[in-house]
Structure 1
């Protein structure tokens, strides 16, 4: 009997993420295998047991597991009901080879805040149009992983940088409709993406993706007051689709775009 198997996988438009993989297994056991990418794993139900570098490990609910590339490992359910997991496969642009040794020694990280952040990252990756938010969350998660593995000096910069924060704000203002990735912003402003997020959030009390969405919602309000239909407003203000507009509009304004338009004077 093969047991229950449910799998969802996709490749998001977020630099550094090779694949997102969500699975529910009851009896299936992975044989020994390797990945070219880093494996960032959280378990939402049940538990997984696995062998890495000839040592047995487990993944209770509050654990974030980071398995390095090219190191053999397997995996099987550790409970009778199996497990439900969410996995990110990250390429070397997010985590360098210098972390492979520490990750082999300590693959399971007990940190509730990191666990929460990885879950939020998965949620952002599942929403088309929220790639900047996903990239921002991934950048901060990668920094937390490096911190856990003892590479605190991997990003030698101060949190506050008002000049850089202003430059990023001006760049976001100029790209409200088309948007911009942190990777591109980093190239244009000659700064590490994580530095961009921390500098902007420290200066303005809001993350770059939140700022961009609030600018788009502001433009949407004006077009709705002009009488445009929500679908047309979504495409005119940089949202992925009408559902994307509705989600962010309701979050910031408290009502849907359609209701806002119908109640306008």
Structure 2
């Protein structure tokens, strides 16, 4: 029988978010509510959810459920069976501020939960949660959280304002600013203040202009610089340090995600 395993991620530097993973769990929960906006994802097994206002819903692997703060709900595996899931909790006041600054709509406290069965949204959620559990920087984690939550709201609710556009001169200034920064100094909050956009509004505008979020743009630039340094024969640890990655394993993970091979494989041809 597979071993039950659970892991919790939280960081005092990001007090507005925490996440949990559970594998092969048989735990059952009474109907309850959270003071947070919560997103659950079923990874394996089948569960039964109440909280949408439509009676009990059967959730299969790859299904997400978005639960507003204060919404009474319950989610449990089929009797006698185990399931695996992920659960993300976001502080309600922080989310309300994010929505306000970027003119986003969204479900309010106590409103019915929403179920999503879109495979791409599930993939993006797993990617976000994997990032939260990784050794990526807090700024990168927070930016990814903002992008994911904003995209969820835009997809589910009519935007309260059209997507903003970056003028060519403003875009050039942002690109120069990002490329000239030490990775540890890249702050979405600071970029948003300088550009006059909300944080998610800036992500939308920047992504529309470049195809990247600001943090993804920086990662891509760092990987391209890494290709050059590896080609010059520099050691992996030295390249990771020069490019501002937390450690060599972080550099290897990001490099492979962008290039398709590890730095060592790339350097060896």
Q: TM-score, normalised by structure 2?
A: 0.78
Instruction: Name the SS of the counterpart of 1:119 in structure 2.
Output: helix
The 1:256/1:55 distance shift into structure 2, 3 A limit, reads closer
Q: Confirm whether residue 160 of structure 1 aligns to residue 165 of structure 2.
A: yes
| Structure 1 stretch displaced more, 9-18 or 197-206 | 9-18
Aligned to 2:247: 241
Give me the whole-angstrom Cα distance separating, in 1, the residues matched to 2:189 and 2:56.
34
The 1:172/1:200 distance shift into structure 2, 3 A limit, reads same
Q: Confirm whether residue 230 of structure 1 aligns to residue 236 of structure 2.
A: yes
Q: 1:118 Cα shift?
A: 1.6
Q: Confirm whether residue 175 of structure 1 aligns to residue 174 of structure 2.
A: no
The 1:54/1:253 distance shift into structure 2, 3 A limit, reads closer
Q: 1:199 Cα shift?
A: 1.9
Asked if the contact 1:8–1:22 (Cα under 8 Å) also holds between the matched residues in 2, the reply is yes
Asked if the contact 2:71–2:112 (Cα under 8 Å) also holds between the matched residues in 1, the reply is no
Q: 1:258 Cα shift?
A: 4.2
Give me the whole-angstrom Cα distance separating, in 2, the residues matched to 1:224 and 1:199.
33
* CA deviation string 1:206-245 (max 9, x = no partner): 3323321232234434544555422122122111101112
Asked if the contact 1:11–1:17 (Cα under 8 Å) also holds between the matched residues in 2, the reply is no
Give me the whole-angstrom Cα distance separating, in 2, the residues matched to 1:14 and 1:114.
26
Specify every segment of 5 or more residues in structure 2 that has no aligned partner in the other structure, as ranges.
none
Aligned Cα root-mean-square deviation (Å): 3.4
Aligned to 1:70: 70
Instruction: Name the SS of the counterpart of 2:184 in structure 1.
Output: coil
| Structure 1 stretch displaced more, 161-170 or 192-201 | 161-170
* CA deviation string 1:191-213 (max 9, x = no partner): 12222222222222333233212
Aligned to 2:214: 208
Asked if the contact 2:26–2:83 (Cα under 8 Å) also holds between the matched residues in 1, the reply is no
Aligned to 1:88: 88
* CA deviation string 1:125-155 (max 9, x = no partner): 23322655544443333233324553521xx
Asked if the contact 1:52–1:72 (Cα under 8 Å) also holds between the matched residues in 2, the reply is yes
* CA deviation string 1:17-54 (max 9, x = no partner): 52111113543211233322111111011222233388
Q: 1:14 Cα shift?
A: 7.9
Asked if the contact 1:7–1:24 (Cα under 8 Å) also holds between the matched residues in 2, the reply is yes
The 1:145/1:178 distance shift into structure 2, 3 A limit, reads closer
Instruction: Name the SS of the counterpart of 2:208 in structure 1.
Output: helix
Asked if the contact 1:161–1:203 (Cα under 8 Å) also holds between the matched residues in 2, the reply is yes
Aligned pairs, number: 259
Instruction: Name the SS of the counterpart of 2:56 in structure 1.
Output: strand
Specify every segment of 5 or more residues in structure 1 that has no aligned partner in the other structure, as ranges.
none
